[in-house]
Structure 1
C-alpha cells in the first residue's frame, strides 16, 4: 500500500493522542493517531483529512473508508455524543465520496467547552496497530485546518 497523507481537520495545536482525556483514544484502543486542540474562535468547520467514502457518521464524528480498505476516524471533542447533536451541523451523508479538505461538519468548540466537555479532536488510523504514522507537524505546533498532519504508511 502507498502512504496516505492525513491533513488536520481543524485549526489548532497538535497534541499526542495520549493527551486525549478518554482512555479509548489515549491508549489507542481504536487505533494509533494524533490529536488537534482546536482554536476557540466560534463556529468552525471540521474538514475531511483525506479522500474517502463516509462510513460511520454522527453529528460529532465520522469515519472515512479509503479505497485501499483503510479507515480514518475523526472525533470533534470528547463525550460530545452527550450533546445529542446540539450545536453540530452535518454537511455530508453516509456513503458520500469526499475529498481532502471538504467540509464535513460545523461546530463551536467554544460551546462544547462551555458545556464542560473537552474540545480536542482525535484523528485515528482505525485498527492499524502495525501502521507506521510519520508526523508532519510537531506536537505543540499550531496548524491550519487542512495542513498536513501525518503520513500513514503500512
Structure 2
C-alpha cells in the first residue's frame, strides 16, 4: 500500500496530540496524529477519499486502501449541537485534498469556553506508521503537509 500524505485541514499552529486536553486524543486511543490550533474559519479535506462519517464538529474520511482520517473541530464542541458550523459536503461524498468541507468560527468556540484545537488522527494506525511532516510549534496553512502514513 502506498504512503498516504495527510494535509492540514485548517491553518494554524501545530501541536502534539499529547498537548490536547482530551484523554482520548492525548492518549492516542483512536490513533496517532497531530493537532492544529486554528487561525482560520475554513476546513478542507486532508486526503482524497469518501466522507464516511460527518458531524458538524467532526468527520472521518476514508482514503484509498481503507485508511481513515478523523478531524475533530475543537474539544467538547459536540455540545454545540451543530450551531456555528456550516457543512459543504454530505456522508458518502467523494472529496479531493484541499476541498472545502466545513466552515466554522474557532474564535466563537473559544469565547464559549471550549478549546478550538483540531486533532487530526490516523484511525487505528500504529504509532510508528506516522511520520511528522510538520513539527509542533510550526505554523501551517490549510492544505500544507501535516504527516505521512506508511
TM-score class normalised by the smaller sequence: over 0.9
Q: CA offsets per residue over residues 60-92 of structure 1, 9 Å max, x none? A: 110001120110000010110000000001000
**1:116 — aligned with what?**
113
CA contact (8 A) 2:89 2:101 kept: yes
Moved over 3 A (4+): none
**2:95 — aligned with what?**
98
Which secondary structure does the structure 2 equivalent of 1:86 belong to? coil
TM-score under structure 1 length normalisation: 0.95
Q: CA offsets per residue over residues 106-133 of structure 1, 9 Å max, x none? A: 0000000011000100000001125511
CA distance in 2 between counterparts of 1:5 and 1:66 reads 10
* Structure 1: gaps (5+ residues): none
Aligned length: 150
Residues 36-55 of structure 1: pairs in structure 2 closer than 5 A? 36-39=36-39, 44-55=41-52
TM-score under structure 2 length normalisation: 0.97
More displaced, 21-30 or 122-131? 122-131
Which secondary structure does the structure 2 equivalent of 1:118 belong to? coil
Residues 1-150 of structure 1: pairs in structure 2 closer than 5 A? 1-39=1-39, 44-129=41-126, 131-150=128-147
Alpha-carbon shift at residue 104 of structure 1 (Å): 0.7
* Structure 2: gaps (5+ residues): none
Call closer, same or farther: CA 1:149–1:130 in 2, change over 3 Å.
Answer: closer
Over the residues paired in the alignment, what is the CA RMSD in angstroms? 1.0
